[in-house]
Amino acid sequence: MNASEARQLPLQGLKVLELGQLIAGPFATKLLGEFGADVIKIEPPGTGDPLRKWRMIEDGTSLWWHVQTRNKRSVALDLRSEEGQGLVRQLAAEADVVVENFRPGTLDNWGLGWEALSQLNPRLIMVHISGYGQTGPYRDKPGFGVIGEAMGGLRYLTGQPGEPSVRVGVSIGDSLSALYAVIGTLLALQERNRSGLGQEIDVALYESVFAMMESLLPEFDASGQVREPSGSALPGITPSNAYRCQGGDYVLIAGNGDSIFKRLMGVIGRDDLANDPALAHNDGRSQQAEVIDTAIQSWTEERPRDAILQALDEARVPAGYPYTAEDIAFDPHYLAREMIQTFTRPNGKPLKVPGVLPKLSATPGRIGDGGPTLGQHTDDVLDELGIDHETRAKLRQAGII
């Protein structure tokens, strides 16, 4: 990246210290790094972030690693040692943001909590991501994303009625929490521009999921109704479902807008439903969801998927099908919008990775480098702190770096 490109990155000059591992905290800092923040990732010497060994491994490193940790500098440092904690305090004194996802109280026990670091650096913004938050009766319980998804209400709704719930196939609770962490960071930076002071940001996994649950709570409060699993349908929003096609494929059709519903019914030859006053609006359609879904299913199961999609596209009815990784990798729309990017790994092999979001017209983000090797930037970062070569040698010999 040249100097002119560097000036175009909106978070250029922001220094972020990542004290975390696996998914939520590192995903948040990944997003900040894509828009120019200097992210310094602290990892335990010898082992590093466990994510290095998660999912598919090639040449000893997780392929996920090259997405989750791009644009970061890796410093191998023992946080449990007094010397390592002292170095982190020096880094935090010069940082704008610290992101951590340890269990609440862990950093306080190491002298690296908010009270200690904010005294060193009153402008510091400290982001905590944990299962249950920094307060409340559950704060000390361990919590991973899947537990947050369960407590937040999502897991109960996934699956078919009467069957055990299923999990979403990605770590959605962690990723949602990371997004809230980034939103909180940007809000705190804006406030710091006014007051000159930093603050804490408290993100809980279960709350990040719960915030996505739409009308779940008010419906229960108003009526005592507990929303139940509904398979591929979206209760109370009709029609919006998955429909079997000829040959066993499925299409997803969202015909729940009033005018869209009429066009959909015209395509499937059901003008009687299109012109029924009782079905003119969503509340009436939802009372007859089974009738409408049956009519659509009768039409789709007699036609191949591509023919269905073409007919619905021509009628301007939102429709699609469940994409596989292969579908995504070669889809012309993904490619046109540069959501499929390729970078060259240290072993010389190319690797396709997701592009950067959100898309900014004047100051777009960057793909940059893939995940660093463990401790790749330890000497560079400690040199920036003024730690001389002899001291670094002693720390390395002691296993602290």
Which residue among 279, 294, 320 closes a domain? 320
With respect to residue 266, please indicate whether it lies within any of the assigned structural domains. Answer: yes
**CATH number, domain with residue 270:** 3.30.1540.10
| 166 and 249 together in one domain | no
Domain that holds residue 86: 3-211+336-397
Reply yes or no on whether the pLDDT at 103 is more than 60.
yes
Residue 15 shares a structural domain with residue 150: yes
Q: Are residues 127 and 97 in the same domain?
A: yes
Q: CATH number for the domain including 9?
A: 3.40.50.10540
Q: Are residues 199 and 248 in the same domain?
A: no
**Cα 17 to Cα 129: distance, rounded to the nearest angstrom:** 14
Residue 2: the pLDDT is 45
> Cβ–Cβ contacts within 10 Å for residue 268, how many?
23
Give the strand order in the sheet containing 38-43: 72-76, 38-43, 15-19, 97-100, 125-130, 200-204
| 288-307: pLDDT as tens digits | 999 999 999 999 999 999 99
Domain count, the chain: 2
Q: Same structural domain for residues 73 and 184? A: yes
pLDDT in tens, 226-256: 999 988 888 899 999 999 999 999 999 999 9
Note whether 87 and 189 are same-domain residues: yes
Same domain, 69 and 37: yes
129 strand-pairing partners = 203
Q: Give yes or no: residues 174 and 99 share one domain.
A: yes
Q: Which of 49, 78, 96, 174 is catalytic?
A: 174
Note whether residue 18 is domain-resident: yes
Boundary of a domain, candidates 320, 348, 382: 320
174 belongs to the catalytic site: yes
**Residue 228 counted as domain residue:** no
Residue 3 has pLDDT above 80, yes or no: no
The 10s digit of each residue's pLDDT in 190-224 is 999 999 999 999 999 999 999 999 999 999 999 99
Q: What's the Cα-to-Cα distance from 292 to each of 237, 318, 387, rounded to whole Å?
A: 12, 16, 71
Is 392 part of any domain? yes
**pTM metric for this prediction:** 0.92
Q: Would you say residue 327 lies in a domain?
A: no
Of the three residues 288, 320, 352, the one that is the final residue of a domain is 320
Same domain, 316 and 206: no
Residue 4 has a pLDDT of 40
The answer to whether residue 162 is domain-embedded is yes
Residue 169, class by beta-carbon neighbours within 10 Å (0-12 exposed, 13-18 middle, 19+ buried)?
exposed
17 shares its domain with 42: yes
Same domain, 311 and 343: no
Q: Are residues 81 and 152 in the same domain?
A: yes
